[in-house]
Amino acid sequence: MNQPELIVQLQQGDEQAFTKLVDEWQDMVYNTALGIVQHADDADDITQEVFIQVYRSVSSFKGDSKFSTWLYRITLGKALDHEKKKKRKKRFGFVQGLFGADEAEQVHAVEFEHPGVQMEKKERANELFNALKQLPDKQRMAFTLHKLEGQSYQDIAEIMNTTLYAVESLMSRAKTNLRKELKKYYENNIEE
């Protein structure tokens, strides 16, 4: 079934079309979310939120861009919103801790299990993803879309609603910033 036909069926409320859509796109949504939030349970939650939003707002999809572009935008938005909420909770937990509240937020280390990362490369991948967390959101989004999702710069420009030049600039700055962050890690590990 081609994409436009599936969208039309979705817009008409066809539940089987929605099931097909989820089957076809859930891995992409999950992997993209996982690339941003770096925690499997959070990526699962985001994936569910994305498909709930798609179900509720598919009628507003006009076809001005590819469906995948629209879906990436929703996924990235949900993942970044999740990150912001998590940061607010950590700050609130810290403030509660200062004033003696009994249930301060527990901070968990990054637990990253990406399906594309082999076990022997896991430590290096963890460091890369810790470094990715240090990037500004737009750099992290561009890097994740290009390196993890295999999107072209042109597709990333469309997904992020920006220019090709801006994506090239974001990727250049992301690589520079990642080199700095990873250099710190490797210098510390060589000294040990």
List pLDDT tens digits, range 6-49: 888 888 888 898 999 999 999 999 999 998 998 899 999 999 99
Does 53 lie in the same domain as 129? no
Looking up residue 48, the CATH number of its domain turns out to be: 1.10.1740.10
**DSSP summary character for residue 147:** I
Q: Does residue 94 or residue 135 have the better pLDDT?
A: 135
Domain boundary among 87, 103, 130: 87
Within a domain: residue 32? Answer: yes
pTM for this model (two decimals):
0.72
Does 44 lie in the same domain as 121? no
User: 4-13, 88-97, 103-112: which has the minimum mean pLDDT?
Assistant: 103-112
Q: Does residue 40 or residue 124 have the better pLDDT?
A: 40
Question: What does each C-alpha distance from 184 to 109, 130, 180, 191 come to in angstroms?
Answer: 18, 12, 7, 11
Within a domain: residue 135? Answer: yes
Q: Does residue 39 or residue 87 have the better pLDDT?
A: 39
Does 133 lie in the same domain as 82? no
Nearest to 150 by CA among 4, 35, 42, 22: 35
List pLDDT tens digits, range 125-172: 778 888 888 899 999 999 999 988 899 999 999 999 999 999 999 999
Within a domain: residue 1? Answer: yes
Which domain covers residue 28, as residue numbers?
A: 1-87
Q: What pLDDT was estimated at residue 105?
A: 40
Does 58 lie in the same domain as 10? yes
Looking up residue 184, the CATH number of its domain turns out to be: 1.10.10.10
Domain total in the chain: 2
The residues near 11 (Cβ < 8 Å, ≥ 6 apart) are 58, 59, 61
Within a domain: residue 92? Answer: no
Q: Does residue 96 or residue 167 have the better pLDDT?
A: 167
Does 65 lie in the same domain as 26? yes
Does 72 lie in the same domain as 3? yes
Q: Does residue 25 or residue 119 have the better pLDDT?
A: 25
Query: pLDDT grade, residue 116 (50/70/90)?
Result: low
